Amino acid sequence: VDEVWRAHVSTVIVDPSGAAAVNSPFVFARLFTVLRRRFVKLTREACHHFSEGMEEVTSRMFELVDLLQNQVECPFVYLDSEVLLSSQLLEHHKFCIIEMNENFLLYTTKRDAVLQRLEAIKVNLRRSGSLSSSEVLEAPPVRESKDVVLAWNLYRLHFQLLLLFSSYHKMVRVLQTARTLKSVTDLSTSLNEKISEIRAALNACEWKTPQVEAHFANAPDPFMVSRAAAVQSLEDCLRHHQPIQALQYLHLYRRKWFNEMFGASEEDDLGVLLTVCAKALTEGRSNCVMFGQTDLTLESADQKLMIMNMQLLSILKKLDN
Burial of 135 (0-12, 13-18, 19+ CB in 10 A): exposed
Contact, 4 vs 70, CB < 8 A? no
Cα separation, 48 vs 61, in Å, equals: 11
Residues whose CB falls within 8 Å of the CB of residue 75, separated by 6 or more in sequence, listed in order: 172, 291, 292, 293, 294, 298
Residue 89 corresponds to which amino acid? L
Q: Is 186 helix (H, G, I), strand (E, B) or coil?
A: strand
- Per-residue pLDDT at 198: 92
Look up the pTM and report it: 0.85
Helix (H) or strand (E) holding 79: strand 77-79
Per-run averaged pLDDT (10 residues), the chain, 321 residues: 94 94 93 93 90 87 89 90 92 96 97 91 72 46 70 93 94 92 92 91 66 54 78 92 90 83 85 91 91 81 90 89 71
For residue 305, give the amino acid letter: L
The pLDDT of residue 124: 76
Residue 188 near residue 289, CB atoms below 8 Å:
yes
- The pairing of beta strand 77-79 with beta strand 288-291: antiparallel
- For residue 131, what pLDDT is reported? 43
pLDDT of residue 185: 94
